[in-house]
Amino acid sequence: MILSSIKFSLYLSCVKVTQNIKVSVDAVVFGYTSEEGLSILFIKRKIDPFQGSWALPGGLVLNNESLEEAVERELEEESGVKINYLEQLYSFGHPKRDPRNRVLSVAYFGLVRPTAFRLKADTDAMDAAWFHIKDLPELAFDHIDIVNKAITRLKAKITYEPIGFELLGKKFPFSELEKLYSAVLDRQIDRRNFKKKIMRFGFLIETDEKQKLAGSGRPGNLFKFDEKKYFKLVKEGINFEV
């Protein structure tokens, strides 16, 4: 019995295993404005398969680049977007997720302010556009699964890490931060309690600048995020929870 096992192991070691798997990257980019709420960036495919369908920006990783370099390149090429906050999300590897061949996708999610960019479709994309998170188009490949995974991650992460500041300007009224959290979490928040929790950490600084109001009303002060203070607190063991 032991001899048979050894023979079988030797047989397996001699068998030539071949793989024909390509690696790609896909990006779920969230954007936020006070007027439009929370949106996701999509591109319209120029080529088959799924020509003319909406999809996430992405593509195959080149031999000489890292995953991060690949996703940044694809984003800029297909939509004109350059991104600061980018985080690896999950790997998607169903054998039939791409009808052309076996493709493993490493997905990322990022946060940007849509007003900071002018969308410009190029290479494999014929168009690029923002879609509200509650009004998404039909998507190519398994991209709806990737999007749903990213939404779940964003909702969870924003409650224990202040990544939402990436979606706001350098200075903003506190009400904008409240609206952002409400939009991401898809629920009303206790405004009074929320402000107490945020302000007690000390990484949100109130400035002397006033909010500009279109109509009547008393303008409030603008705030800004102290990133250095936040990372100092992280090293000390901050327990950020909203």
- pTM (2 decimals)? 0.88
Residue 125 burial (C-beta neighbours within 10 Å; 0-12, 13-18, 19+) = buried
CATH of domain 168-236: 1.10.10.10
How high is the pLDDT of residue 216?
60
pLDDT digits (tens, 9 = 90+) for 57-85: 999 999 999 999 999 999 999 999 998 88
Q: So what CATH class is 21-157?
A: alpha beta
Domain ranges of the chain: 21-157, 168-236
Q: How confident is the model at residue 4 (pLDDT cuts 50, 70, 90)?
A: low
Supply angle C-alpha 163, 77, 135, rounded to 5: 55
Higher pLDDT, 12 or 192: 192
Beta carbons of 29 and 112 less than 8 angstroms apart: yes
